Amino acid sequence: MGTLLRFRQLTDAARTAQIVIGSDVGARRPVFDAIKQFLADVAAERNPAPTGDDELQLAAAALLFHVIAVDGVIDQDECEMLRRVLARRFDLDPGQVADLVRAAEAADAEAVDLYAFTSVLKRRLEPADRERIIAMMWELVYADGTVHELEDNAVWRVAELLGVPTRTRVLLRKEVSDDG
C-alpha cells in the first residue's frame, strides 16, 4: 500500500477517533498504536531488511566499503578492487556487484559502528571465512599503493570484532602486501 494512501487513512482515522472519543485519553490508545505502526511500515518500505545470503553479502560489502572510505578518499583503484573482490567472493555479475556496492555505501553511511556488520559475519561465518574477509580488506587497503593509518586501524578493529587473532591479521597483511 502506498505511503501517501496509508497516511491519508491514518489521518482520517485520527480525526474520527477525536470526534468519537473526545477527551477519553485511554480510548485514544488505538490511534497511537496506528501511528506507531504507520511509522514502522514506512521505515520498512524504505529499508527492507536483507535476508539470508543478502544479509551476509551486505555486511561484508559494507565493511569492505568502509575500509576504502575511512581515509576520506575513494579512488578509482580502490573502487575497481572492491568490485573485483565482491564479484570473486560472492560470484556476482557486474550488475549485481553495482547494486551491492550502492547498498553497502548506504549501509556504511547509516551505520553508527561496525558491530552491526561484524556480528552478522561472526555469527554466520566459520573462522577461515572471517579471515578471508580480513584478507579482502587488506587487498583494498593496498589497492591505491598507500596504507593510511585509518585504514590500518579499521582492519584491526574489524579483525578484533570478528575474532581473528592479531597474529593471523598480521600474517594476512604480509601475504597481501608481498603479493602486491
pLDDT band at 36 (very low <50, low <70, confident <90, very high): low
What is the share, in percent, of the chain residues with pLDDT greater than 70? 71
Tens-digit pLDDT profile for residues 1-27: 555 555 566 556 656 555 444 555 555
Instruction: Between 167 and 28, name the one with better pLDDT.
Output: 167
DSSP letters along 3-61, please? HHHHHHHHHHHHHHHHHHHTT-GGGGHHHHHHHHHHHHHHHHHHSPPP-HHHHHHHHHH
In the predicted model, is pLDDT for residue 31 greater than 80? no
pLDDT tens figures, 80-128: 999 999 999 999 999 999 999 999 999 999 999 999 999 999 999 999 9
| 38 and 6 Cβ atoms separated by less than 8 Å | yes
pLDDT at 86: 97
- CATH number assigned to the domain covering 52-179: 1.10.3680.10
Helices 3-21 & 29-46 angle (0-180, nearest 10): 170
Query: Residue 179: what pLDDT?
Result: 80
Asked whether 47 and 109 are in contact (CB, 8 A), the reply is no
The residue ranking higher by pLDDT, 30 or 18, is: 30
pLDDT (mean) for 26-44: 61
Work out the number of other CB atoms within 10 angstroms of the CB of residue 44: 10
At 51 the pLDDT is 46
pTM: 0.71
Amino acid at 44: A
Cell readout for 102 is 550502492
Computed over its alpha carbons, how large is the radius of gyration of the chain? Answer: 22
Task: Calculate mean pLDDT across residues 15-44.
Answer: 58
Q: What percent of the chain has pLDDT over 90?
A: 66
